[in-house]
Structure 1
Amino acid sequence: MPYVTISTVRGILDAGQKKTLLERVTDLLVEVEGQGNPDFRRNVWVRIEEQEPAHWSLGGMQPTPEIIAGMFGTIGADGVRVPRP
């Protein structure tokens, strides 16, 4: 029974991206570990763990919500990414 945790910075993935990521990682585990057996799907756990930008560093730089919004756009209250103008 596989358990997969995906760690990411909060604000990068919107609700649709999370759903797609969860589905595709599950599909991959069914294909590889479950050898294509569709019954294996019910044994696959996938979790997305989001942490605040201040908890991360890349090359010594801590991303801010403003940097993330500038790169990826903001996420609305409905969990959907707001298109950048």
Structure 2
Amino acid sequence: MPYVTISTVRGILDAAQKKALLERVTDVLVEVEGQGNPEFRRNVWVRIEEQEPSHWSLGGMQPTSEIITSTFGAIGADGLRVTR
């Protein structure tokens, strides 16, 4: 039974992106580890862990909510990316 954890900075992925990521990672595991057997799908665990930007560093720089929003766009109350 595979268990996959995807770690990311909170605010980068919206609800639709998370759903797509969970589905596609599951599909790959069914294809590769489950050798294409559709029954294997029920054994695949995929989890997205989001941490606050202050818990991350890239090249010594900590992202801020403002940097994330200006780079990726804001996420609305419905959990979906707001069109810029």
Same fold (TM over 0.5): yes
Secondary structure, counterpart of 2:20 in structure 1: helix
Mind listing any 5+ residue stretches in structure 1 that lack a counterpart? none
Residues 32-71 of structure 1: pairs in structure 2 closer than 5 A: 32-71=32-71
SS of aligned partner of 1:76? coil
* Structure 2: distance between partners of 1:31 and 1:65: 36
Task: Tell me the matched-pair count.
Answer: 84
Counterpart of 2:69 in 1: which secondary structure?
helix
2:75 is paired with a residue of what secondary structure?
coil
Q: Take 2:76 and 2:8, find their aligned partners in 1: how far apart are those partners?
A: 18
1:15-74 CA-partner distances (Å, limit 9, x unpaired): 000000000000000000000000000000000000000000000000000000000001
Q: CA deviation at 1:83?
A: 1.1
Q: State the TM-score, normalized to the length of structure 1.
A: 0.98
1:73-84 superposed matches below 5 A: 73-84=73-84
- In the alignment, the residues of structure 2 paired with residue 80 and residue 25 of structure 1 have an alpha-carbon distance, to the nearest angstrom, of 20
How many Å separate the matches in 1 of 2:75 and 2:51? 15
RMSD: 0.3
Task: Tell me the TM-score normalised to structure 2 length.
Answer: 0.99
SS at match of 2:8: strand
Amino acid aligned to 1:49: E
